[in-house]
Amino acid sequence: MEELIQSAIQMQDRAYCPYSHFAVGAALQAENGNIYTGCNIESISFSPTCCAERTAFFKAVSEGTRRFRRIAIAGGKKGEKREKTTPCGVCLQVMLEFCDPETFEVILAVSEKEYEVRRLAELLPYGFRPTGLGAGDPAGNRY
């Protein structure tokens, strides 16, 4: 857990956030133990901005990994104390695509010692699940 949070904290340094100055790092642990990291990447036209969590997920999925255990998130205004950063709705929806909401853990980290663990189902209780279109289990995530 501490190692995962440490990776998320380190990734804050990679954040490209010249507009919000809010730096977010994420570290996603796959079922096989691999860790995929991400940071937020902003755009002058705003809507192309990608959150740290999605960066980590898209890196993992593009590398062939689709089964995940937990994600640690560290965020805060540059130069200020870190604050518990909850994923946005878009990122939660991406998590729901690939993770079992009852078991997947979202770690809201202030430091390696101070953090809160939430299940995805708590953060997105009524999310639109991949089975919603009668698509079965497209990502192989055991729904």
Of the residues 31, 53, 114, 116, which is catalytic?
Answer: 53
- Please give the C-alpha separations between residue 37 and each of 1, 9, 52, 59, 131, in angstroms, as whole numbers: 14, 10, 8, 8, 28
Stretch that binds ligand THU, among 19-27, 29-37, 76-84, 110-118 (CB under 6 A): 19-27
Binding residues for ligand THU restricted to 56-75, rule: CB under 6 A: 73, 75
**Applying CB under 6 A, does 90 fall inside the site for ligand THU?**
no
How many CB atoms are located within 10 Å of the residue 56 CB? 29
> With contact defined as beta carbons under 8 Å apart, do 76 and 92 qualify?
no
Nearest to 37 by CA among 4, 66, 68, 81: 4
How many CB atoms are located within 10 Å of the residue 83 CB? 13
- Per the annotation, the verdict on 53 as an active-site residue is yes
The Cα 19–Cα 47 span in angstroms is 12
Nearer to ligand THU, 75 or 101 (CB): 75
We find the least distance from the C-beta atom of residue 133 to ligand THU, in angstroms, to be 26
**Applying CB under 6 A, does 87 fall inside the site for ligand THU?**
yes
**Applying CB under 6 A, does 51 fall inside the site for ligand THU?**
yes
Which of 6, 10, 14, 22 lies at the binding interface for ligand THU (CB under 6 A)?
22
List residues with catalytic annotation: 53
Contact positions vs ligand THU (CB under 6 A) = 17, 20, 22, 24, 40, 42, 49, 51-53, 73, 75, 85, 87-88
